[in-house]
Amino acid sequence: MNGLLHQVFSGLATGGIYASLALALVMIYRATELVNFAQGEMAMFSTYLAWSMINAGLPYWPAFLLTIGVSFLAAAVIQLAIIRPLANAPILASVIVFIGLLLVFNSIAGWIFSYTIKTFPSPFPSEPLWANSYISTHEVGAIGVTLALLAILFAFFRWTELGLTMRAAAENPVSSRLVGIRVARMVALGWGLAAALGAVAGMMVAPIIFLDPNMMSGVLLYAFAAALLGGIDNPWGAVLGGFSLGIVENLLGAYLIGTELKMTVALAIIVLVLVVKPSGVFGRTVLTRV
């Protein structure tokens, strides 16, 4: 029983990370109907950035915030400089550019920081909370950070003028332009927010899976599966999908198939969702009457 609970809790922790990255994918998908395959590598690069700052002597939380800010800006610039010119290009051109970005970030990280695995500090104490044996303090902290982040994002999109404008630009770009919304800026802003989310996901997962240039490939795969499971354009679905996949992955890994086949689970889920219910389990429908 203790073992089971332990697996569920640590599944929740990694699930939160999948949820964040899945939400980042969904945000960009809703605005552009494209999946940013480089989202994971961008998050990895952000994590290296945080690692460099911490190694240079900066305390954890300032480095954390600075990393989020830099990631936000860098992603907005990447969108404006590299992705935006492709707005009218065929979809495959964008896909190739995303894959190109993935390789560029991966190689630059390997070139600058080498491919050897590094440890990444956790901001949370190493002794378990209330001396329990189910969950480490870092896992509790990661879940807390994820939930706080999701709450902030929800409030931003739900209650602020800018959030409303960004949602409008994603839902109906032409109408948005006709009411004077600068849609291109909103998309760049969306990229920034997605990268900020990814950066947090990277910094939260790195103490668990360690830091190396390929650290996010598995996480991105799970995030992609989570986003699909929830319906690729549904933010709530992505979050729920992320948390549930984290748990499923851990339980299957511990009791059924072992850790070697964990990655296969993500791929199996992707195929299963696409074949059985392409709109996702929590597929959202907009009511329309004419």
Q: Where does this chain bind other proteins (CB under 8 A)?
A: 161, 164-165, 167-168, 171-172, 174-183, 286-290
- How many other C-beta atoms are found inside a 10 Å radius of the C-beta of residue 73? 13
Q: Measured from the CB atom, is 177 or 277 closer to other proteins? A: 177
> Closest approach of Cβ 180 to other proteins, in Å?
4
Pairwise CA distance, residues 238 & 196, whole Å: 17
Q: Which of 27, 39, 50, 120 is nearest to 78 (CA)?
A: 39
CA–CA separation, 199 and 216 (whole Å): 11
Amino acid at 121: P
Tokens (6 digits) for 266: 């993500």
Smaller CB separation from other proteins, 181 or 195: 181
Q: Least distance in Å: CB of 159 to other proteins?
A: 11
Q: How far is the CB of 236 from other proteins (least distance, A)?
A: 13
* Closer residue to other proteins (CB): 134 or 156: 156
Query: If 0-12 CB within 10 Å is exposed, 13-18 middle and 19+ buried, where does residue 178 land?
Result: exposed
Least distance in angstroms from the C-beta of 286 to other proteins: 5
Phi, psi values for residue 90, rounded to 5°? -60, 155
Decide whether 16 or 230 has the Cβ nearer to other proteins.
Answer: 230
Nearer to other proteins, 134 or 157 (CB): 157
Residue 211 is classified by DSSP as B
Q: Give least dist CB 178 to other proteins, A.
A: 5
CA distances from 85 to 88, 131, 184 (A): 8, 54, 11
Shortest distance (Å) from residue 100 CB to other proteins: 29
Question: 3-state SS of the chain: helix, strand, coil percent to 5?
Answer: 75, 0, 25
Q: Please state, in angstroms and rounded to a whole number, the distance separating the CA atoms of residues 111 and 253.
A: 33
Please list, in sequence order, all residues whose beta carbon lies within 8 angstroms of the beta carbon of residue 260, skipping any fewer than 6 positions away: none
Q: How far is the CB of 176 from other proteins (least distance, A)?
A: 8
Supply the DSSP symbol for 22.
Answer: H
What are 211's strand-pairing partners?
Answer: 118
Q: Cβ of residue 217: shortest distance to other proteins, in angstroms?
A: 34
Closer of 40 and 231 to other proteins (Cβ): 231
Q: Which is nearer to other proteins, 80 or 247 (CB)?
A: 80
In the complex with other proteins, which residue's Cβ is closer, 128 or 163? 163
